[in-house]
Structure 1
Amino acid sequence: MSLKHTLAAGLLMTTFGVSASAQSLVYCSEGSPEGFDPALYTSGTTFDASSHPLYDHLTEFKVGTTEVLPGLAESWDVSEDGMTVTFKLREGVKFHSNDQFTPTRDFNADDVIFTFDRQGNAENPYNSVSGGTFEYFASMSMPDLVESIEKVDDYTIVFHLTRPEAPFLANMAMDFASIMSKEYADAMMEAGTPEMLNQAPIGTGPFTFQAYQKDAVIRYLRNDEYYGDKARVESLIFAITPDASVRYQKVQAGECHVMAYPNPADVQAMKDDESIVVMEQEGLNVGYLAYNALQPPFDNPKVRKALNMAIDKQSIIDVVFQGSGQIAKNPIPPTMWSYNDAIEDDNYDPEAAKAMLEAEGVTDLSMKIWAMPVQRPYNPNARRMAELMQDDMSKIGVNVEIVSYEWGEYLERSKDKDRDGAVLLGWTGDNGDPDNFLAVLLGCDGVGAANRAQWCNEEFDAKLKEAKVLSDQSARAKLYEEAQVIFKDQAPWATIAHSVVFMTMRPEVDGYVVHPLGGHIFNQVGLK
């Protein structure tokens, strides 16, 4: 064990008493959250640290499934035309408190209105706080969808929509829809510290926020006033450990109970170790390289196609995923309904790729490939992937420079319409609906936000918008299948891989469930 590792472990145990209490569950997480207000971000790292332990939503996903259950809304009614959704809110739900704030009332309709109004109303004073980039809200076309939110009484709320929206109830269970305390927001605005909503979070969730040391540790305590099933452990600790090998060492040493994103090369050894439990599940994910379709020559689909043909995806699967992934040909995973298996992938053909570039008048091309600084389920080693792509591109005369940034900065910079370079990113589904991949990541409303390819195709977008308003899944599936044909022809991405998700833990961990939507949820996890 390195000195650095020893000191880090010592700090963790000294500060939080990790090893002293069987009631403390320690999760070795892969990175620091960007903040604790989920609506401002799109990273699973941030959602794991905020949305899941600290907040609730109007609807919730049953852990381990995409089944929608009642949450802060105990029931709902959708009108026949699909244009109004009425939620009956749960009574008696308590918000957390901290040194700056003690709530004087329970959760009610005002909190729901505040949660969504701040994201879509430029006049709301919180619309620009902490950067004010509500990426999910914008990319999901919520400003166009929600005409108004009506408060009938303290515990009845009505969403008036401009059109039917098939995945609306599932969308309300997503991280961006975490319900915030209006009373807390008002108090912090009056105190001149509105940023505390993002830095010292107050929610209604199963854990309360206690402390955060950037790049080191996050501490939570059980919320004993939680309206639902109480957490099984007294405290939850995120030991922030970016290096997968170090995370594994900590699990072996008993310093962490659970870790995510093991190195693919280590998985077999973990499975062979009787003191380690490895869970696995096909991931509802895709990893991709997004070109910037607003910047020449990447505004030319034939150039993008040529570059795609230069990428040896099988080598990436072999070297980076080491058997834990499969080649991706579509922007949605094969386990998702509407997946178009009839589509043929771009052949790996460097000579044809080179000839296609020359036919388009592109020679001596230089480009940047952005490599993520963290492991994600859809990309366990972005730097190595970028290096393989760099080598592939050199074979067709394209010079590649690899760049990277700190994770939060990477996500922010990569949204820029003027971004220089193609960006390695990916997606794990939020709600089990194809719309969550196709519209959020590739729709016109996502340009400058979640649509990192900055690609707006009117024919593609029209099919997505038509599919949104239909209730018949087979009719929706046909439109999504047609949209995938357009995507493949236009090639805003190089689709790289779909991965298997592995979770590594100690045998005393009880009740952990691998969630298909990618979140790491510890509400009902205990220690034997």
Structure 2
Amino acid sequence: MRSALSVGTLALFMSAAAPAHAAMLSVCIEGSPEIFNPQLTSSGTTSYVLGQIYDGLVSVKAGTSELEPALAESWTISDDGRTYTFKLRQGVKWQSNARFTPSRDFNADDVLFTFERMMQEDHPYSKVSGGTYITFNTKLADTLESVEKIDDHTVAFHLKQPLAPFVGIMAHQSLAITSAEYADALLKAGAPERFDRDPIGTGPFMLQAYETDSVVRLIPFQETWGAAIGDEARTPKVDAAVLAISPDASVRLQRALAGECHIALYPNLADRETIENSDELNPVQTPVASSGFITFNFREEKFQDKRVREALAHAIDMEPLVEVVYNGMGKVTGALVPPALWGSADIGAHEYDVEKAKTLLKEAGYENGFSTQLWAVPVARPYMPNGRRAAEMIQADWAEIGVDAEIVTFEWAEYIQRSRAGEAQVGMFGGIYDFPDPSQIPNNYFTCDSSGKPSPSNIGAWCNEEFISIMNKAGSITDQAEREALYEEAQQVFHEEVPAVILGGADMITAVDKKVHGYVPQIFGTSRLSGVTVE
């Protein structure tokens, strides 16, 4: 779907809108959505857009780590921890578009459709748009046995074994509920692929137009259930939300300073003082649980040798890298689970030791070094505010041991696609926790399924039986102290095997216009534009 707005038209519209059309909210985001179906993505950039359109059964309360009801009003757990029964909210309306007008409200059939698409290989939508269900495959595929419709407003999820973080997982944006009726209509029309491009949700905003790499335009869905129950935080308060796509953090901030964006996501951390000194903007700092890392591709013979991986880890001078890249707001750590979240292990970074690195390379048969690619994240994220600068510093460090690293990057959507296709020799990646449980990032990025297939975000294809076994055990028990000990044990295995090098993470800063009220950046999950007003 493409918009009739040109980039120039958008800039003019946004500039004029700030003082003259207070009911329009403009947001500068860092990248384009890769898809318009939440099941097919784990990208935070995409989830920010889709989180305005779709709802899940459960959500994380804004600005907290507290889970709260969404499309499910309540839930119960069986004594054996294997059945979760959700009572669904009644009277929830679906959005419409030029091709579809719903004839009924949200009900249990939509929940069944959403999950059966991901569960059943013979489902008519299973392979549509590639059929890669990243979150489901890494968190639920091996555990979820069936989804049962009890009645129109009650659904039971039956698990093969207990899964402690199950309700938190259900709050993940990738498990938002989609319309079974809409899917049936498009299938009958012979256009099922449109289901993932022309979204229909229950959330506070609807997609009006999308121009690739330029702008996403949203309009309020006045019949959304949040407004119907009088929940101000879930009610759209503006006439439109324009999400301008600006990959460069400096450009996003300049647009905000010029009044073209009311909210600018992920400005450079080094620009905090500029924001603080501005008459128009506030720097809103939010603690974020995130992990950034470079990961070695185990499809490459040299990276299958642990000595090579250890050498590259010891060759990185982490203290100055974290200080520069995270602008004094990061912390040097070797823990896969970030210090901001329970379950983080007290593990330091690999010691900076050039001579040890050279010795390890020599033992591995690479006395004269080798050449490799080093991919750099092209957008600013809490886990990596400046991918290019980080890559340059690593490149310089590795040159000291004879390793010639070519820095490679792509536009964000292409970067994700290519990384997940296994193209990155050394890939820079990372993630932000969507729910408050240590399992998310390790399971997403460093595990494989029961058949040995790496999870889609496991771009290095590291499949370690000991690590996976510990992670699975930690997810099957409910005692938090025991789970915490297991996560710490898993992180020790990770540190010793060096499938990746942890680079760190930092608090998030958002530049918010002083005329904006009600915007609460999320600690976990997707920040909402509902409930936000502009003077």
Task: Please say whether Structure 1 and Structure 2 have the same fold, judged by a TM-score greater than 0.5.
Answer: yes
Cα gap change, 1:209/1:420 in structure 2, threshold over 3 Å: closer, same or farther? closer
Question: In 1, distance between residues paired with 2:276 and 2:531?
Answer: 24
1:252-331 matches, within 5 Å, as: 252-331=257-336
Match of 1:353 among 346, 349, 357: 357
Counterpart for residue 441 of structure 2: 437
Q: 1:448: Cα distance to partner?
A: 4.8
Q: 1:190: Cα distance to partner?
A: 1.2
Structure 1 contact 416–448 (Cα < 8 Å) conserved: no
Per the normalisation by structure 2, the TM-score is: 0.94
Question: In 2, distance between residues paired with 1:337 and 1:420?
Answer: 31
Match of 1:452 among 459, 476, 481: 459
Cα gap change, 1:396/1:13 in structure 2, threshold over 3 Å: closer, same or farther? same
Cα gap change, 1:259/1:9 in structure 2, threshold over 3 Å: closer, same or farther? farther
Q: Which amino acid aligns with 2:34?
A: E
Counterpart for residue 471 of structure 1: 478
Is structure 2 residue 388 aligned with structure 1 residue 383? yes
Is structure 2 residue 29 aligned with structure 1 residue 29? yes
Counterpart for residue 145 of structure 1: 143
Cα gap change, 1:15/1:248 in structure 2, threshold over 3 Å: closer, same or farther? closer
1:348-427 matches, within 5 Å, as: 348-363=352-367, 364-417=369-422, 419-427=423-431
Is structure 2 residue 493 aligned with structure 1 residue 462? no
Q: 1:295: Cα distance to partner?
A: 2.1
Question: In 2, distance between residues paired with 1:105 and 1:425?
Answer: 42
Is structure 2 residue 130 aligned with structure 1 residue 125? no
Higher mean alpha-carbon deviation, 464-473 vs 371-380, is at 371-380
Match of 1:172 among 165, 170, 173: 170
Question: In 2, distance between residues paired with 1:275 and 1:149?
Answer: 50
Is structure 2 residue 72 aligned with structure 1 residue 94? no
Counterpart for residue 3 of structure 2: none
Question: In 1, distance between residues paired with 2:533 and 2:173?
Answer: 24
Is structure 2 residue 532 aligned with structure 1 residue 525? yes
Question: In 2, distance between residues paired with 1:371 and 1:251?
Answer: 26
Q: Which amino acid aligns with 1:148?
A: S
Counterpart for residue 197 of structure 1: 195
Question: In 2, distance between residues paired with 1:336 and 1:168?
Answer: 18
Counterpart for residue 225 of structure 1: 223
Question: In 1, distance between residues paired with 2:502 and 2:525?
Answer: 19
Higher mean alpha-carbon deviation, 15-24 vs 69-78, is at 15-24
Deviations 1:229-285 (A, max 9, x none): 322222111011112222112111211100011122211121122321001123211
Q: 1:98: Cα distance to partner?
A: 0.6
Structure 1 contact 30–375 (Cα < 8 Å) conserved: yes
Counterpart for residue 72 of structure 1: 71
Question: In 1, distance between residues paired with 2:270 and 2:501?
Answer: 25
SS in 2 for 1:502: strand
Q: 1:405: Cα distance to partner?
A: 2.0
Structure 1 contact 38–47 (Cα < 8 Å) conserved: yes
Q: Which amino acid aligns with 2:478?
A: S
Counterpart for residue 3 of structure 1: none
Counterpart for residue 49 of structure 1: 49
Question: In 2, distance between residues paired with 1:345 and 1:328?
Answer: 5
1:3-22 matches, within 5 Å, as: 8=7, 10-14=9-13, 18-19=17-18, 20-22=20-22
5+ long unaligned stretches in structure 2: 1-5
Is structure 2 residue 338 aligned with structure 1 residue 333? yes
Question: In 2, distance between residues paired with 1:196 and 1:472?
Answer: 44
5+ long unaligned stretches in structure 1: 1-6
Deviations 1:89-118 (A, max 9, x none): 111100000100000010011100111111
Counterpart for residue 428 of structure 1: 432
Higher mean alpha-carbon deviation, 96-105 vs 382-391, is at 382-391
Question: In 2, distance between residues paired with 1:462 and 1:447?
Answer: 14
Is structure 2 residue 503 aligned with structure 1 residue 505? no
Q: 1:9: Cα distance to partner?
A: 5.4
Question: In 1, distance between residues paired with 2:413 and 2:127?
Answer: 18
Q: 1:331: Cα distance to partner?
A: 0.8
Is structure 2 residue 62 aligned with structure 1 residue 63? yes
Deviations 1:394-425 (A, max 9, x none): 100111111122222211221234x3511001
Q: 1:519: Cα distance to partner?
A: 2.8
Structure 1 contact 136–450 (Cα < 8 Å) conserved: no
Question: In 2, distance between residues paired with 1:518 and 1:324?
Answer: 21
Cα gap change, 1:231/1:58 in structure 2, threshold over 3 Å: closer, same or farther? same
Per the normalisation by structure 1, the TM-score is: 0.95
Q: Which amino acid aligns with 1:277?
A: N
Q: Give the superposed CA RMSD.
A: 1.6
Question: In 2, distance between residues paired with 1:430 and 1:264?
Answer: 22
SS in 2 for 1:515: coil
Question: In 1, distance between residues paired with 2:304 and 2:262?
Answer: 47
Q: How many residues are treated as equivalent by the alignment?
A: 518
Q: Which amino acid aligns with 1:256?
A: C
Counterpart for residue 186 of structure 2: 188
Q: Which amino acid aligns with 1:31?
A: G
Q: Which amino acid aligns with 1:505?
A: V
Counterpart for residue 494 of structure 1: 501
Structure 1 contact 12–217 (Cα < 8 Å) conserved: no
Cα gap change, 1:274/1:160 in structure 2, threshold over 3 Å: closer, same or farther? same
Counterpart for residue 247 of structure 1: 252
Structure 2 contact 62–527 (Cα < 8 Å) conserved: no
Structure 1 contact 9–255 (Cα < 8 Å) conserved: no
Deviations 1:159-179 (A, max 9, x none): 111011111111111111110
